[in-house]
Amino acid sequence: MTDTDLGAFRTETRAWLEANCPTEMRDGIRDEETICWGGRNWQFTSDAQKTWLEVMAAKGWTVPTWPVEYGGAGLDRAHDKVLQEELDAIGARWPLQSFGIWMLGPALLAFGSHEQKLQYLPPIARGEVRWCQGYSEPGAGSDLASVQTKAASDGDHYVVNGQKVWTSYADKADCIFALVRTDPDAKKHLGISFLLIDMDTAGVSTKPIRLISGSSPFCETFFDDVRVPKSNVVGTEHRGWDVAKHLLTHEREMISGGGAGLLGTRSLGAVLAEHDGGMDAITRAEALQCEVDQLAIGLTLERYKDQAETGGGVGDASAMLKYEGTELNKRRHELLMSAGGADALEWEGTHAGLAADWLRTKANSIEGGTSEVMLSIISRRILGLPG
């Protein structure tokens, strides 16, 4: 690859985006309402949103680094970075956000059979199926390997019974990737399998969980004698912990974004000014520090992605990125609340959503692994400190 090759790709990409990205899709991601999650029952908010997803999926650019045969464009890291830069340059919304893209996809690429990849990855890339994650249970959160949801063998099927909790968007998802115990007699890390389950299967039900913010994406998910084909196991039976760990590095990498995506292409300073009409010197300095820290974590993430180009994810460094991203997200929303003053406490009206978003950031310290667990991983596996 030469600079000339990348330059030509940049020119072609810029021209294609100019011709194909609808004007309405060039205002960045501002809130939940501007995100396209896809799925069997997804209702597009506009014709422009639908068109943008369709043209990007046809190009393979919803998952640009995935192989072409699985719905991607087969881009290497250098070309992918050019694409991201050109999308950012026009303030383009990302056409599709998906746990299938961020988490299940990388796990399937690493552990799935060729048949599973062909079956599941292209629909994810086209936004046709929405996935949720079935990891945490009432008695297995930070100690995830203690999962007790059972999958009993019954011919060429499993019969699944148990409960998951904090299942984000389970009430809207089409399918769930879940950790289930297939060998109850094995040590806790060794008797777990990684299983794909259709949410429309008889015996699957969900119940929303209301949070301090007033609402939330979280749900409880219940399995009552749910029959699932054994062909839906990803990787080796009883060795789902290997798949789970790989997926977690990608989940933590995703969470490490620090909430910047909801600000679109605007700086934190610009968003603060919208709510305050001007900032005092202290608030301005804190906003600038957040912006610098956001750039630093972004560059760090890019460095680790470059090192992990072979597809192994960012590894243990994902704990560091997730922890820093979590803390940064909380700081950014604290600033937004401070700048909004008493108005920021509104639940309806001009400033509606600020307080709810601020309260929601508290969950960042728990989801994807608690901050305490992240610090433990950093100390033991990155810094090499004694236990």
Q: Which sequence positions are flagged as catalytic? A: 251
| Secondary element (H or E) of residue 160 | strand 157-164
- For β-strands 204-208 and 175-181, DSSP reports them as unpaired
Residue 105's identity, in one-letter code, is G
Distances (CA, A) of 2 to 6, 79, 327, 330, 372: 7, 11, 39, 41, 44
94: nearest Cα among 17, 155, 181, 206: 17
Only one residue has tokens 């994406």, namely 217
**Using an 8 Å Cβ cutoff, are 111 and 117 in contact?**
no
The strand pairing partners of 140, in sequence order, are 137
**Rounded-to-integer distance, Cα 365 and Cα 344, Å:** 22
- For β-strands 219-229 and 192-198, DSSP reports them as unpaired
The strand pairing partners of 312, in sequence order, are none
Q: How many CA atoms lie within 13 A of 100 on its CB side?
A: 30
Q: Give SS3 for 230.
A: helix
Residue 183's identity, in one-letter code, is D
Q: How many CA atoms lie within 13 A of 241 on its CB side?
A: 17
**Using an 8 Å Cβ cutoff, are 171 and 141 in contact?**
no
